[in-house]
Amino acid sequence: MPTPDTALSGRAEPMPVPKAHFVNGNPLRGPFPAHLEQAIFGMGCFWGVERKFWQVEGVFTTAAGYAAGLTPNPSYQEVCGGRTGHNEVVLVVFDPAKVGYEDLLTVFWEGHDPTQGMRQGNDTGTQYRSGIYTSDELQASAATVSRDAYQLMLQEAGFGTITTEIIPAAEFYYAEEYHQQYLAKNPGGYCGLGGTGVRCPGTDAV
């Protein structure tokens, strides 16, 4: 991981993105309606991750982007070069009256392998690490409790230790326009996600 002295300097201008979500037509950028909440997850390549979350009932909008690094407004090429510290993440804006944060955590844990460190499947690099980036203490507590519960199930199934970082969310930087809702625009595109197959008892999430 880069340090503040070795990270790329980035730029002041944010990446231009479409005004509306390609799938559901809702705004891609805020400000969002006051009753909505936000969550940020890193699960490997953000193309497949974003599709998982936009399919969840109660999710208002999603966006691919970068977070948990040092470089302001990084480009995809810079993130892939490993000198920004950023992770490929997805911003999930949701209605808590329709879907709970705990439900989104279920999608997170059961949608990828959180034991692989700086990789996800064939995708290797710091930008593919597993991460939960929390907006408040309630999210942080829920994420920690769910991690501990899934660690027990993964251990019983023969998997290793969860490497997911759970840290407060810093600034979310939108990825370039072509990354937004990529798999809706390119149905045959690469996904790269593969879960452990371990599910929380009583759920049907995959």
Identify the residue whose tokens are 């979500």: 21
DSSP annotation of 90: E
Q: What would the two tokens of residue 190 be?
A: 């690469």
Give residue 181's region: left, alpha or beta (phi > 0; psi -120 to 50). left
Give the span between the Cα atoms of 17 and 138, in whole angstroms: 30
Q: What would the two tokens of residue 140 be?
A: 């942080």
Catalytic residues, which ones? 45
Give the span between the Cα atoms of 65 and 180, in whole angstroms: 8
The four Cα atoms 145, 146, 148, 153 give a dihedral, to 10 degrees, of 150
**Residue whose C-alpha is closest to residue 65's, from 170, 146, 179, 151:** 179
